[in-house]
A and B are shown apart, each in its own frame.
Chain A
Amino acid sequence: AQSVTQPDIHITVSEGASLELRCNYSYGATPYLFWYVQSPGQGLQLLLKYFSGDTLVQGIKGFEAEFKRSQSSFNLRKPSVHWSDAAEYFCAVGARGRRALTFGSGTRLQVQP
């Protein structure tokens, strides 16, 4: 069965600092990987996705993520965090032939001025 682990429940960073949110997945085949962001009271917005090819993927709002098969990881990064990035971030895994996405428990990001 697929599973996704986001080890950090809550992270606080200062505005302008760099950010890395961790995501580890468990799946036997090649996964499809996603990062979504949920602002308070809002739905889930897709930040970026990885299906195949270049393991470093660029997303919206200046985010990027790197797929590392050997570590079963898909960490999300941003070089300089803005106050508007405060939100909850979800990593999700899917796979060819499977309909549903499996989500991690989320990481809540707080940005200090």
Chain B
Amino acid sequence: DSGVTQTPKHLITATGQRVTLRCSPRSGDLSVYWYQQSLDQGLQFLIQYYNGEERAKGNILERFSAQQFPDLHSELNLSSLELGDSALYFCASSVTSGAETQYFGPGTRLLVL
């Protein structure tokens, strides 16, 4: 158990819908990262927040957004969902904002029908 929690574990929804994925970092970690794992793209970095502020953006679609709240939990919002958004979404956390060790949560498996 990494100490990073993600909810829900599974999510099934329809095209065009909007969903919110939630992540709680390890105690004491200030950074949260979101990654997407799909069969065709592998593990791709989406976005990072540090202590409530956006710090880095990767291959994140404009339909996707994220935020980190004062209690340091983070939410990833996915809207206007398409079939291709079906994937495993991971959250990771680390103590600071650099590239030191990131600890991953169990992931949320999203299926868009």
Contact = CB atoms under 8 A, between A and B. Distances in A.
Interface of A: 32, 34, 36, 42-46, 49, 51, 90, 94-106
Given A32-B99, A42-B106, A43-B106, A100 B45 contact: yes
A95 to B, nearest CB: 6
Contacts of A98: 56, 98-99
Given A43-B106, A90-B43, A105-B42, A100 B101 contact: no
Contacts of B2: 43, 45-46
Given A32-B99, A105-B42, A99 B106 contact: no
Contacts of B33: 99-101
B55 interface: yes
Given A43-B104, A103-B43, 12 more contacts: A36-B104, A43-B106, A44-B104, A46-B101, A95-B99, A96-B99, A97-B98, A98-B98, A98-B99, A100-B58, A101-B102, A104-B42
Q: Which bucket holds chain B's interface residue count?
A: 20 to 34
A42 B1 CA distance: 10
Contacts of B64: none
Q: Which 4 A-B pairs have the closest CB atoms?
A: A94-B99, A100-B45, A99-B56, A44-B104
B101 A49 contact: yes
